[in-house]
Amino acid sequence: DGGITQSPKYLFRKEGQNVTLSCEQNLNHDAMYWYRQDPGQGLRLIYYSQIVNDFQKGDIAEGYSVSREKKESFPLTVTSAQKNPTAFYLCASSMDRVDGYTFGSGTRLTVV
Amino acid sequence: AQSVAQPEDQVNVAEGNPLTVKCTYSVSGNPYLFWYVQYPNRGLQFLLKYITGDNLVKGSYGFEAEFNKSQTSFHLKKPSALVSDSALYFCAVRDRDGGYNKLIFGAGTRLAVHP
């Protein structure tokens, strides 16, 4: 079945550590996105990529980094510069400008 | 910049009654509007979208939405609510920024359907 896979489902990070969240899709979608979800704040865009080797900062990119070396993969690194990383992270992909998104099932990151 | 607003944090409905979840938008140009649903600890699932054409859009699970240009609204509706419809609902609008496309989401509305 085609879809988006996010891993791990739960992730715990110690203060000062970098962690990487995986996002893989087999839908042959060109565009991929990372959102952060906090209670009562909806979804906020972190980074997005329309094609391989190109990505753009979203509204809350500080403390995060991404890469897009392959069409299928768009990993997100939460760096130690992100002061409040505890949140639910959602990856999505889309085919074109009128298409909706297909979402992964999310990764819940907790700082311990 | 494009934006959407969901004025209600929570909507409570009795099972079998009609439901409405409200969304208003602010865009320059023609709006591309979307509704998604989220169940606990899951990703968002696409319900329906308005790109052009009929103002009443039908989607998944018996949901529909009415596009109203004069009121800049895109309310989600269902004639008869089910307990299983209880979830978090998001309205979204497409933003085109410098040739790049992305969705801007509202804060979400929690729908609670009571037996």
Examine the pLDDT at B1 and tell me if it is beyond 90.
no
Question: pLDDT for B12-44, tens place per residue?
Answer: 999 999 999 999 999 888 899 999 999 988 889
- CA–CA dist B101, A24 (Å, integer): 20
Question: pLDDT for B61-77, tens place per residue?
Answer: 999 999 999 999 999 99
Distance from CA of B58 to the nearest CA of A (A): 15
Residues A22, A16, A55, A69, CA torsion sign: negative
pLDDT at position A98, please? Answer: 67
Question: pLDDT for A90-109, tens place per residue?
Answer: 999 998 766 789 999 999 99
Q: Which two tokens stand for residue A33?
A: 């996105």
Distance from CA of B97 to the nearest CA of A (A): 11
Question: pLDDT for A5-30, tens place per residue?
Answer: 999 999 998 888 999 999 999 999 99
pLDDT at position A100, please? Answer: 84
Residues of A with CB under 8 A from a CB of B: 4, 6, 31, 33, 35, 40-43, 45, 48, 50, 56, 58, 88, 90, 92, 94, 96-98, 100-106, 108
Examine the pLDDT at A1 and tell me if it is beyond 70.
no
Contacts of B100 in chain A (CB under 8 A): 48, 50, 56
- CA–CA dist A27, B40 (Å, integer): 24
Residue type at A102? Answer: T
Length of chain A: 112
B10 falls in which pLDDT band (50, 70, 90)? very high
Chain-chain contact of A103 with B34 (C-beta, under 8 angstroms): no
Q: Map out the domains of chain B with their CATH numbers.
A: 3-114 (2.60.40.10)
Question: pLDDT for A50-76, tens place per residue?
Answer: 999 999 999 999 999 999 999 999 999
Nearest CA in chain A to B8: A40
For residue A103, give the nearest of B9, B41, B44 by CB distance.
B44
